[in-house]
A and B are shown apart, each in its own frame.
Chain A
Amino acid sequence: MNEGLADFLRGIAATNEWWVILPEILLAVLALGLLVLELLSPNIRKLVPRVAMAGQGVILVLLLAFGCSDCGGVPEESYFGGLLQSNEWTMVMRVFFLFSALMVSYLGGLFLARQNLAKEEFYHLVILVAAAMMLLVQSNNFVMLFVALEMVTVAFYVLVAYRRSSSLSLEAGIKYLILGALSSSILLFGIVLLYGVGGNPALPGASGDSLNFDALGSFIALNPDNPLVLTGAMLVLAGVCFKIGAVPFQIWVPDVYQGAPTPVTAYLAVASKAAGFMVLLGLLHGPFLSLQGFLVPVLVAISGASILFGNIAAVTQGNLKRLLGLSGIAHAGYLLMGVVASCSVDWADRAVLFYLITYLLASFAVFTVLSIAGQGDDAETSMETYRNLSQRQPFLGGVLTLGLGSLAGIPPLGGFIAKLFLFVAAFQAGLYGLLIVSVLGVVISIYYYFGWIRTVYFKSTGATDEAASAEVLGIQARCVMGFLVAAIILLGVFPGAMSLL
């Protein structure tokens, strides 16, 4: 190899600043360490859940202590030869994903204690997913984006099918596998089209590295009407919309949410969706900036359809996990409205982030109750399980009420403020039609959320209280749920508290 090339390669390798992704590396090491621990004696094996939770907690604290000290208005910086880019959002999102993983590990502990399943691998996969999502939101290159997204998706295939003794879980796994592979291939096809057209030397602005978001963005700015660019962007958008479960790509949501183990459903609902939205925001404000005129009407249509479909389909739904899945489609619709608004209103991306955070808190509150109060077969959770819950378990009933209230958007809670921010952003962006649709959606959603809450508080006329096995809540569970509820109320009363996080 000649000297110039060697120097050049050294120059590229010098931008591989591994310390920037130290939290992700630590998570990967933790995940590997768990597999090693599992090999040791059975006594050590029992420690795996604790080691997993403690490890994630330590990394979360380190991230908060060292990462956020200088995250106020950090300039955008590129690392790894432009593969990664950090800005003020990425740090918040890394904390977000790590916190989700910690919650899922906790819920996983509750879930696995009741099941005769492999235990240690669950934590391994959850941690790997968290690390991959943390890299996903920082990626600034389609190679990085695709590898990180595939890592998330492959681990989710396994997590969804984790309860292999249950046919519903296996069905969910197969559905997620096939549709996930299909959506990945659509996304990949879009990426390849963009790469090919962006590297065409006959077109202005072509670059040798058109997978990079910056290079691709400047290429698209010069060729916004190229049919290949438009096709590629649409396909990429379709691939991302699958991940967030927006309407034309929502078929998998109810079945997968129902069949997957409850902690995995929570993970899918919160972290996977948030990752999809962050990718979407990054793409719309990055490489697809000059395509906004073309993409915005498409996104408006998807958003409106998602809100209406999710809410209307949820009304008649008796299975609670399916209900949460369908209402999750509606939430994806509201969030998409915020994403569309962010094209013209500059603070709307903050509103999206705020919504994601309140959605995280409320969803985990509801899913924690679901994990604790749910009966053994966690795919068949019906309303009847929760009949009169407030009498049997007042604490669980209260947490469930507040969580559902926040999801519905009831005034003193965080979900209300989050919805309000999104609606104001949409109003300022002039999306009046979409705004009417989403207000309609909220009204419909109140019906089914309150139907559930009503079940919690009232006895049915003829039902016997045979499920009155009042498990005593551990102090740990009370602390976790108390924290979630306190955060929901705090964000509702004092939204500025988000800046503390």
Chain B
Amino acid sequence: MADLLFYLFAGITLISALVMVLMPNAVNGAMCMIVSFLGTAALFVLLEAYFLAILQVLVYAGAVMVLFLFIIMLLDVGEDSPAVKPAKLSIFAALTGFVILSGLVISLFTDPASLPATPAFEVAENPTGLSANNGIPFTTSAKSFGYSLFTKYMLPFQMTGFLLLAAMVGVIVVSKRITETEPEAETTD
């Protein structure tokens, strides 16, 4: 059952990603990207990483996509925009990527030694007890993220707040139009 679901969602993810790349209309492409993100989120659910799945939906399928749509609408990229001819460099990049990918696939399927013989969970037990992982239990629930954030990583967490503040102040600075003309010396430009 889980296998079937895995192939189903993996297929949805891959196909919608492919459609997104090939779609001439940018807005439709963005919609396909949402489907791809949702498929990835479903894969996370199959791995029992529920928190990650929720984040994937909220952040990527939600916030990031809204941002993308805003940009598409601001740039006003319609269907009538001429198709961009692939530059030599991007052809070269695509070829390189393809060669690396095929090399990986060939080495995976022809040489069984390239895959680890034992799965990771057999190499070592998931450590339990308080000394493992500095006392914070290995779970995928949001609670354990909270434990870490508010004890061990309190300082970086607070700093991230300041980072966002600096970014916000920056957006205002760069986009604010100064109306009052108050410089003491002569203005230039």
Contact = CB atoms under 8 A, between A and B. Distances in A.
A binds B: yes
A164 interface: yes
DSSP majority for the B interface?
A: helix
Given A118-B178, A135-B159, A376-B188, A13 B151 contact: yes
Contact of B162 (A128, A143, A166, A209): A128
Contact of A151 (B123, B159, B176): B159
Contact of A13 (B123, B130, B137, B154): B154
B178 A151 contact: no
Contacts of A12: 134-135, 151-152
A148 interface: yes
A113 interface: yes
A309 interface: no
Contacts of A84: 155
A80 B151 contact: no
Nearest to B147: A9
A121 B174 CA distance: 11
B132 A202 contact: no
Interface string B146-180: 01001111111001101101110110111110100
B81 interface: no
Contacts of A115: 183, 187-188
A209 B133 contact: yes
Interface residues of B, number: 42
B184 interface: yes
If over half of A's interface residues share one DSSP class (helix, strand or loop), that class is named, otherwise mixed; here it is: helix
Contacts of B159: 132, 135, 147-148, 151
Contacts, number: 131
B90 interface: no
Interface string A68-105: 00000000000011011000000000000000000000
B189 interface: yes
Contact of B166 (A4, A158, A161, A202): A158
Interface residues of A, number: 51
Nearest to A145: B156
Contact of B183 (A5, A81, A116, A154): A116
Contacts of B185: 113-114, 376
A165 B170 contact: no
A192 interface: no
Contacts of B166: 124-125, 128, 151, 154-155, 158
Given A5-B137, A81-B134, A202-B124, A144 B183 contact: no
Contacts of B80: none
A9 B154 contact: no
Contact of A143 (B134, B156, B175): B156
Given A9-B136, A80-B154, A158-B170, 12 more contacts: A4-B130, A114-B188, A116-B181, A117-B178, A121-B170, A151-B162, A154-B170, A158-B174, A165-B189, A201-B124, A209-B133, A376-B185
The 3 closest A-B pairs by CB, nearest first: A158-B170, A376-B188, A201-B124
Interface of B: 123-124, 127, 130, 132-137, 147, 150-156, 159-160, 162-163, 165-167, 169-170, 172-176, 178, 181-189
